[in-house]
Amino acid sequence: MKNLKCVMWSLRALIGRLRPSNKSMVIRVNEAGTLPSLIASHLKYRIVELTLIGELNGTDLRYIREMSGCDANGKETGGCLSVLDLSGVNIVNGGNTYYGNYRASDNKIGDYTFYKCARLTRVIIPDNLLSIGEGAFGCCYNLSSVVIPDKVRDIGELAFYRCESLGVVSIGCDVNTIGVYAFRSCISLKEAIFVDGNKPLQVGDNLFYNCPLEKLYVGR
């Protein structure tokens, strides 16, 4: 009986380690490229909500991708990161490639940064961000909420391609250009809000292709 109890305790401990927790963390990254050293390896695939403050480069973005369910080669990981708050982050040049041969650039969520990170449901973009690259959030199938700050000037083509859970999008007043098919096949997107700025807006063809858009607002 004693041995049986020991076995049961061991099994419970193992299950506890395997089961994702609803763990929420706030981490300050004082030096770009050090995020992997700031998260204990046994927590990497257990964090569900993550708030980051400080500077991030390609090495950090690569690690965040892995936590969000997809590695730098597009293969699925055991990550369960769902809510990502980057509002207090500066994205800077440097570090490793984060996806394929893509590298980080200053004040930009670069091309395919979060491509195929299907675990993400909510992302708050850095307050000082200037650009969202091509396919940056493509195939984030469960992304239902994204906050695009006013300073963003450019949104690349296919930036939100197949964000199939995205229901509402608000586009800030400083946006100059939005690429073709930026919201293609966002099959839940019913409402789009364009905050009216003082600059002309260049919009690519088929911006809302295959979207069930019902309401389009322009104004403040």
Candidate from 18-22, 74-78, 126-130 with smallest mean pLDDT: 18-22
CATH architecture of 130-220: Alpha-Beta Horseshoe (3.80)
Residues 179-199 have a mean pLDDT of 90
Report residue 219's pLDDT band, with 50, 70 and 90 as the boundaries.
Answer: low
Strand partners, 100: none
Q: What is the pLDDT of residue 56?
A: 98
Per-residue burial over 130-152, b if 16 or more Cβ lie within 10 Å, else e, is: bbbbbbbbbbbbbbeebebbebb
Reply yes or no on whether the pLDDT at 9 is more than 60: no
Q: What is the pLDDT of residue 4?
A: 47
Residues 4-27 have a mean pLDDT of 54
Q: What is the pLDDT of residue 76?
A: 97
Reply yes or no on whether the pLDDT at 85 is more than 60: yes
Q: What is the tens place of the pLDDT at every residue in 166-178? A: 999 988 888 999 9
Q: What is the pLDDT of residue 138?
A: 98
Assign residue 135 a region (left: φ > 0; alpha: ψ between -120 and 50; beta: otherwise): left
Q: What is the tens place of the pLDDT at every residue in 121-150? A: 999 999 999 999 999 999 999 999 887 888
Reply yes or no on whether the pLDDT at 22 is more than 60: no
Over the chain, what is the mean pLDDT? 90
Reply yes or no on whether the pLDDT at 198 is more than 70: no
Q: What is the pLDDT of residue 197?
A: 65
Query: Tell me, what DSSP letter sits at residue 112?
Result: T
Q: What is the pTM of this model?
A: 0.88
Report residue 13's pLDDT band, with 50, 70 and 90 as the boundaries.
Answer: very low
Domain boundaries, the chain: 20-108, 130-220
Reply yes or no on whether the pLDDT at 5 is more than 80: no
The CA distances from residue 60 to 36, 92, 200, in Å, are 7, 10, 35
| Distance (Å, whole) CA 134 – CA 162 | 13
- Proportion of the chain above pLDDT 90, given as a percent: 78
Residues 144-166 have a mean pLDDT of 94
